[in-house]
Structure 1
């Protein structure tokens, strides 16, 4: 009985100690489990759409007129809403995003601001609460059914609720009409994703018009109605639909828009129509549809008549357009496997010569690069419009910065910045315009993924482009910064701090490390394409992305998603200690076989040297005895190993025990560069799972043919390690690796 009691006490003590040890290191390798939503018939455990997946549809027939004298928009639309959900609906929600600029908007009220003793006037006006004279926001004139009968509706800031005369049952559709108007904002004054720019030299305007019509909010299986208020950061959650849009503008304006132009012969000259037809079969260089000379002539006089441009766009989630008498227009075709879309650019003379040279080619390269990594671009056109100080995306059209100096000169920085923003904004056609994530909730699902693909496309088509944002090397200062100013990537768009780093840079850098360091390009590329293919023209959640990447690769990545997306931990791995051994004959005593590079030690010195704990590079190797295997280690096995052969196999080899420490908390693979005494080096990689039993410290034994001089962690800076000064062992007193990296890039 005493024996049993003693054993239970011993086991209990061991169990308690193990539990305490486990509690200290719990978390990083636990499965996401209930952190992710429970799979169901709509969204499966594999990350694919379920067999009962559904999504709503909203079709629009819009007539809109641009008033160039008063800088305003007036429109009327007929919306047909299809209820494909399994529930009846008694009301509908619409987004009124222009109301962000209304007098009663919550956006300026809820923005924090501070002041210094000296501020430029423009910034002072932005930071100080004042009575804005701009009359912004939608003026909703009527909401009626197909018979002209008014529908009850309530406007709540940037959302409008429309009560249905009777429940809209599953499988039914309902059509209704909205008439509205609003004043267009001056983007120079208040920024914004759309608006106008005024050119005082020739007294003309360039309009980039978006969020210009009341749009159906999204209703789905995850949130029901996505009716979060639009405060400015969290963008849009929308349903797919078919659009027919008639845009009336001054007759001397050129219009670019989502979709295909339906009446080119009515709005273009015969010569311009011929050029457009020619461009549809030109694959090498853009064709000028409207030349700079024609645009310069056009901007000198203001026509009094009007023209209506008609566009049709199927299976898109939104619509935007640009209009100006200043536009130059060029276009070319892009040869894909199945499709032949048109790449186009619209820009004023102020964009040349840079835009004529680079813009449409960047559109073409983006379609080629993204199509190869995801799915073939399905739309008929992709358009880049030049507008000052903006980068913003919509289906088939985007607005991009990059303006040369007045004399036409430009720096390399200006050129690369312009090409980068075009790739990024055109790339948004794939994420989120087709892979239709909820931007109001999860900015990173489009911005982070798109920044990552933008960088891969830049590397492929523009190898001379300098170091890019969203790579592991460019995210370290942010990740290692003050945690009071950092929030996890999995944070709602309106609560994000350091928006660019959180939603763009960190997710992109995470995917870089996932592709190049953890999974490898072959596995990653196949899994990423699977995600894109599964969810094109559908609406994925973060869980669908996480699950698909694992499902399609057989790589357990829960630890990765947890560390990079759910925490603010950073990467900081270091070599804490190195011990050096060599095999010695079993019968020879330790004291007489300690060797150093400086010669033999006497017995007293050797004993002290062997027992000393040091963080410096070992000048001495310690003898390692490999004894004969005791019979008890074989258990029930009848066969035996050859102990002499094992000793002979490792005779003369250098045995190193290396201890690594995780200072930053974010577990990552350990990439080790062994720098040998003869001047050569080799790199080995240990998967992140080495940290699974102790997330703070890990040790590993290596048998090497050659003697080491030093060890370097992450030599190519693949893991976003925030402190490179402790990545070399022994520590270097001379210029750190990080300083050498900065010097190298400053030379480049």
Structure 2
């Protein structure tokens, strides 16, 4: 005993000393030092803590759309609730329209390379040689008594310096008057709002979003989220109630966040009757405004104004669209706890595909997302057609996709439907589960794309959809320029943010659901996360902890590799050794056969190229008493020999070449033509992250072994996934097609 303990203590002492002098974090070490620690506000389980708080902002807005001058002006009253434990001497307000001002520090920076061949629109994006007006004019900021409040504007953020601090647990009301020129969406890149002009009939579709000065988020993890708007990173916003009055040309139709409060004043009696019919139509959309009626509207050009009134409860933003060109259809969607009106607004340029598919796609998204998380809680869900865009807001989204001369390719149609599903899905992430898009784009885009792809797979099974193979080209790219998912939104390379913030998180969640945790348990955990954090502000740590808490699964190894590194999956099936155990004495031929696998005088194995040399022979002897130590009982050696006799024993050696730990799926192809699958947990890598050996007992003889046969883990090189090695190109192509097909 003493002789064993001494070397053990010596080794243990060495390990402690090494850890002190050479910091090392294995792939299975906890990620506690990489995420925000739990506290009274955010529990270690991933749930909101007992002391969790968040701010609130209610808005009353009156706005006027000036079609002649393409401007919008408004007055708003904000009631701001300081639910934090801090007294606030100033507030930060977002002025996103300032991002388009001339001289803005970020203009042209998103895609700023000059190419040998550039079209004029690309040159305009880069240089702004044709100038256009943009940005807010702030008329006043006043408190409830009409006294002016001082402010300072820093690019897209405005600091409101309070006359006296806003105490913890109190609220204040103040007003802002403002205006800005609406920008032509064709004039600048990443246009999430603005107007689209139609020269043929001299009309305009207005998409009005991030249009009013909005409160920035103040939270427990960073105080004010006053990071500048730089177009890629979107928005961090507080929840509140909205009362909004929008005055537009009399012949315009408005699609908006919220419930319409004065339908009798803005809709004709015919339109009102059609809407009532739509509220009872669960199988098909009802046209509220037909093509013929929209074409009549296109010719009117009214100079009079009409005011539309909307209320929205517990939303984090408000957007609307306005045009005389709109056709309008609506259909009721019955959810377990709510009936929602799915509605689409589109100009005639969207026909016929928008009338055929838009509202149907809304319905599919509402049903699948509700089942996966929680029932859609709002009264309406709207899709508005425009060009070159997919952008989300509470209850309304702006979506591209149109036919050309009445025809649309299957690929373009899939893209249009996918865009609608995706943008409708954003109502859950981040419009209700309100993560910080400005900081962590992947938390809304990745989670939403995951459910978007699930919706496509379930409701449009013939469509192309994202699978683990989708991310292989990205993950096998140049590591010098790749960045991990845990990169702040605006710091990602423009040509990589789609793969890194949308597709890679989606594939990661697909792996967790399909191959690591299991569908039933994962779905319960994902739903738990959504319900814990609806109408709240989760951080990455809250998601990571909830998925572990609700599944009893150690996932730190997965988070560390998939979210925090640029490692990729490349598992190599290095060797498969075949053994048999015989009870009788082995003959000289067996001994010679065994020796073929050894190199005399070297501690090196000769790797067989295939199974043609037959099995190595194991001479299994009786266990000596000394091997039992102080145990008095003995195993039934006769039974062991009986169970193992004549069986095929395979020792599989797998190397981790890509650095990313994953479970291992092994496919066995037997001599009789049958197949079998063995699945090994990622935990097999725990003691050796670079190479593992695993032993299997099989009744049948094996002729081929494949790793990851269903391509579940985004392995970037499947040429090293087989034994015997794939020699012929035609055989490899067959194997590749089998493993990477949709």
Q: Which residue of 2 aligns with 1:353?
A: 352
Deviation of the 1:20 alpha carbon: 7.5
Q: Is the 8 A contact 2:137 2:179 kept in 1?
A: yes
Deviation of the 1:91 alpha carbon: 0.8
SS of aligned partner of 2:307: strand
SS of aligned partner of 1:58: strand
Q: Which residue of 2 aligns with 1:598?
A: none
Separation in structure 1 between the aligned mates of residue 641 and residue 168 of structure 2, nearest angstrom:
76
Separation in structure 1 between the aligned mates of residue 78 and residue 732 of structure 2, nearest angstrom:
57
Separation in structure 1 between the aligned mates of residue 79 and residue 320 of structure 2, nearest angstrom:
22
Q: Is the 8 A contact 1:725 1:736 kept in 2?
A: no
Q: Which residue of 2 aligns with 1:637?
A: 631
Deviation of the 1:7 alpha carbon: 8.4
Q: Is the 8 A contact 1:674 1:681 kept in 2?
A: yes
Q: Which residue of 2 aligns with 1:539?
A: 537
SS of aligned partner of 2:89: strand
Deviations 1:307-342 (Å, cap 9, x if unpaired)?
011110010000000011000000011101111011
Deviations 1:267-313 (Å, cap 9, x if unpaired)?
11100011111111110000101111111111122112110111100
1:613 and 2:610 are equivalent in the alignment: no
Deviation of the 1:655 alpha carbon: 0.3
Structure 1 residues 288-687: aligned runs within 5 Å:
288-406=287-405, 408-466=406-464, 468-469=465-466, 471-497=467-493, 498-585=496-583, 587-588=585-586, 591-593=588-590, 603=592, 607-609=595-597, 611=599, 613-619=606-612, 620-687=614-681
Q: Is the 8 A contact 2:216 2:225 kept in 1?
A: yes
SS of aligned partner of 2:86: coil
Separation in structure 1 between the aligned mates of residue 584 and residue 733 of structure 2, nearest angstrom:
47
Q: Is the 8 A contact 2:710 2:740 kept in 1?
A: no
Deviations 1:409-465 (Å, cap 9, x if unpaired)?
111111111110011000000000000001111000000000000011111111111
Which range moves more in the overlay, 731-740 or 149-158? 731-740
Deviation of the 1:739 alpha carbon: 3.9
SS of aligned partner of 2:626: helix
Separation in structure 2 between the aligned mates of residue 655 and residue 21 of structure 1, nearest angstrom:
39
Deviation of the 1:634 alpha carbon: 2.4
Deviations 1:647-670 (Å, cap 9, x if unpaired)?
110111110000001111000000
Separation in structure 2 between the aligned mates of residue 243 and residue 738 of structure 1, nearest angstrom:
60
1:258 and 2:257 are equivalent in the alignment: yes
Deviation of the 1:735 alpha carbon: 3.5
Separation in structure 2 between the aligned mates of residue 96 and residue 207 of structure 1, nearest angstrom:
19
Structure 1 residues 223-262: aligned runs within 5 Å:
223-262=222-261
Q: 1:92 to 1:738 in 2, by over 3 A?
A: farther
Structure 1 residues 263-274: aligned runs within 5 Å:
263-274=262-273
Deviation of the 1:12 alpha carbon: 3.4
Q: 1:101 to 1:279 in 2, by over 3 A?
A: same
Q: Is the 8 A contact 1:61 1:77 kept in 2?
A: yes
Separation in structure 2 between the aligned mates of residue 204 and residue 742 of structure 1, nearest angstrom:
52
Which range moves more in the overlay, 734-743 or 390-399? 734-743
Separation in structure 1 between the aligned mates of residue 113 and residue 390 of structure 2, nearest angstrom:
27
Structure 1 residues 20-419: aligned runs within 5 Å:
26-108=25-107, 110-111=109-110, 113-127=112-126, 129-130=127-128, 133-191=131-189, 192-406=191-405, 408-419=406-417
Deviation of the 1:733 alpha carbon: 2.1
Structure 1 residues 723-738: aligned runs within 5 Å:
723-735=717-729
SS of aligned partner of 1:436: coil
Q: Is the 8 A contact 1:487 1:496 kept in 2?
A: yes
Q: 1:7 to 1:401 in 2, by over 3 A?
A: closer
Separation in structure 2 between the aligned mates of residue 189 and residue 233 of structure 1, nearest angstrom:
17
Q: Is the 8 A contact 1:725 1:737 kept in 2?
A: no
Deviation of the 1:747 alpha carbon: 9.6
Separation in structure 1 between the aligned mates of residue 247 and residue 332 of structure 2, nearest angstrom:
27
SS of aligned partner of 1:108: coil
SS of aligned partner of 2:335: coil
Q: 1:740 to 1:418 in 2, by over 3 A?
A: farther
Q: 1:586 to 1:89 in 2, by over 3 A?
A: farther
Q: 1:166 to 1:132 in 2, by over 3 A?
A: farther
For these two proteins, the number of residue pairs brought into alignment is 732
Q: Is the 8 A contact 2:182 2:194 kept in 1?
A: yes
Separation in structure 2 between the aligned mates of residue 52 and residue 737 of structure 1, nearest angstrom:
61
Q: Is the 8 A contact 1:25 1:695 kept in 2?
A: no
Deviation of the 1:587 alpha carbon: 4.2
Q: Is the 8 A contact 2:710 2:739 kept in 1?
A: no
Q: 1:404 to 1:10 in 2, by over 3 A?
A: closer
Q: 1:741 to 1:200 in 2, by over 3 A?
A: farther
SS of aligned partner of 2:615: strand
Q: Is the 8 A contact 1:103 1:132 kept in 2?
A: no
1:722 and 2:716 are equivalent in the alignment: yes
SS of aligned partner of 1:475: helix
Deviation of the 1:122 alpha carbon: 1.4
Q: 1:21 to 1:171 in 2, by over 3 A?
A: closer
Separation in structure 2 between the aligned mates of residue 447 and residue 7 of structure 1, nearest angstrom:
54
Which range moves more in the overlay, 101-110 or 16-25? 16-25
CA RMSD of aligned residues (A): 2.3
Q: Is the 8 A contact 2:124 2:187 kept in 1?
A: no
For structure 1, the 5+ residue unaligned runs are 595-602
Separation in structure 1 between the aligned mates of residue 223 and residue 665 of structure 2, nearest angstrom:
45
Deviation of the 1:163 alpha carbon: 1.2
Separation in structure 2 between the aligned mates of residue 705 and residue 742 of structure 1, nearest angstrom:
28
Deviations 1:350-397 (Å, cap 9, x if unpaired)?
101100010001101111000000011100000000010100000000
Q: 1:73 to 1:617 in 2, by over 3 A?
A: same
Deviation of the 1:24 alpha carbon: 11
Separation in structure 1 between the aligned mates of residue 554 and residue 738 of structure 2, nearest angstrom:
36
Q: Is the 8 A contact 1:219 1:226 kept in 2?
A: yes
Deviation of the 1:112 alpha carbon: 6.2
Deviation of the 1:562 alpha carbon: 0.5
Separation in structure 2 between the aligned mates of residue 647 and residue 493 of structure 1, nearest angstrom:
61
Separation in structure 2 between the aligned mates of residue 646 and residue 511 of structure 1, nearest angstrom:
43
For structure 2, the 5+ residue unaligned runs are 600-604
Q: 1:659 to 1:25 in 2, by over 3 A?
A: farther
Separation in structure 2 between the aligned mates of residue 402 and residue 391 of structure 1, nearest angstrom:
9
